[in-house]
Amino acid sequence: MDIIRNDTHIDFMARRKIALIFSAVLILASIGSLVTRGLDFGLDFTGGTLIEISYPEAPDLANVRGALDEAGYENFSVQTFGTSRDIVVRLPPEVAAEEGADVSTAALEALESVDPGVEIRRVEFVGPQIGEELANQGGLALLYALAGILLYVSFRFQWRFAVGAVAALVHDVLIVVGLISLFRISFDLTVVAALLAVIGYSLNDTIVVYDRLRENFRVKRKGTARELTNLSINQMLSRTVMTSLTTLMVLIALFYFGGEIIHAFAYTLIVGVIVGTYSSIFVASTAALVLGVSKQDLMPVVKEGADQPDQEDLPARFRNT
């Protein structure tokens, strides 16, 4: 027995107004979180020194912060990393500039005054100029991706579809970044890579729906643009849902068992797959309809004397929906 029926006839477009209101609420909440809370930029963008430290037993973070305060450090952050016995200390870039390569040694000496069994697992340093360059390049990568997609979809389909695809992608990125801000997920280069992957995944789903819609516009004699959109989405629903579910299974496993280093990466992809699947069904298709896509926009140019393709009627379940 098939897990997902291939002959579904859900009237998605009848629910498009509710979906758009839901999307608008999510986007406004995301923008509000970005304005009020901002992003928790990682070391890649802020610059500074990251020291991963392991304790024999779970330390009291207040004592750790007190030891660093007594050593004269300022504007640092301390948080657990993976297990309760592992912590990460982030020091601002000016600390490394003052202390040089001995910054990790000095920090370790300060922490050993509280617990002699402390061990350094990892030390990373990124200069402030490099962090700023990485932030600029990451933002440009997202903009270049959206611009390239706009040109590609315009060339392959029609400008109305291109605007719909880019609208869906902007929708996805805003919501995903807003949720990253809301839950204070560290925003670093791995998250930027995940956002680019989300753009590609969401675009793939959207292109599949658009491709089927173009085919139905060309071969169906009857049916409005809304009815044909419903037909196209239902025809691709089984493929879309199964692809999303299998992808989510892998990402959830990475999220829980992949370790703290790829935690933010997996989280971003999980949210992106869910939002991208939703947007390819409701946002991209609705945007094309709002922009007035019609059969005439997608009908191939027929040369004089060429044979006409066979046409078939729209299934009865999609009429007058």
What DSSP character marks residue 315? Answer: P
Q: Are 161 and 210 in contact (CB under 8 A)?
A: yes
**CA dist., res. 169 & res. 177, Å (int):** 12
Confidence of residue 102 (pLDDT cuts 50, 70, 90): low
Helix axes 225-257, 189-219, angle to 10 degrees: 150
Which segments of the chain belong to CATH 3.30.70.3400? 48-126
* Tens of pLDDT, residues 246-292: 999 999 999 988 777 788 899 999 999 999 999 988 888 888 888 77
Residue 61 pLDDT level (bands cut at 50, 70, 90): confident
Q: How far apart are CA 186 and CA 197, in angstroms?
A: 18
Domain with CATH 1.20.1640.10 in the chain: 12-40+131-316
**pLDDT value for 171:** 92
Region class of 20: left (phi > 0), else alpha (psi between -120 and 50), else beta: alpha
* Whole-prediction pTM: 0.76
Per-residue model confidence (pLDDT) at position 273: 94
CATH architecture of 48-126: 2-Layer Sandwich (3.30)
**Side chain identity at residue 44, one-letter code:** D
Per-residue pLDDT averaged across 51-74, rounded? 81
CATH architecture of 12-40+131-316: Up-down Bundle (1.20)
Q: Do 90 and 124 contact (CB within 8 A), yes or no?
A: no
Give the range among 69-73, 168-172, 286-290, 305-309 with minimum mean pLDDT.
305-309
Q: What is the mean pLDDT of residues 306-314?
A: 49
Is residue 239 over pLDDT 90?
no
Instruction: Considering only residues 91 and 194, tell me which one the structure prediction assigns the higher pLDDT.
Output: 194
Distance CA 73, CA 110 (A): 10
Q: Which residue has the tokens 């692809």?
A: 243
Cα distances from 155 to residues 151, 162, 285, in angstroms, run 6, 9, 18
Q: What is the DSSP string of 287-305?
A: HHHHTT--HHHHPPPPPTT
**Range ranked top by mean pLDDT from 21-30, 126-135, 229-238:** 21-30
- Separation in Å, CA 117 to CA 25, 103, 113, 175: 50, 19, 10, 43
| All residues at 6 or more sequence positions from 47 whose CB lies less than 8 Å from its CB, including other chains | 92, 93, 126, 127, 128, 129, 130, 131, 132
pLDDT in tens, 66-92: 888 887 777 777 877 777 788 888 877
Q: Which among 48, 54, 71 has a CA at the least distance from the CA of 122? A: 54
DSSP 48: E
pLDDT, tens only, 123-154: 877 765 666 676 677 778 778 877 887 777 77
* Band of pLDDT at residue 310, cut at 50, 70 and 90: very low
Confidence of residue 315 (pLDDT cuts 50, 70, 90): low
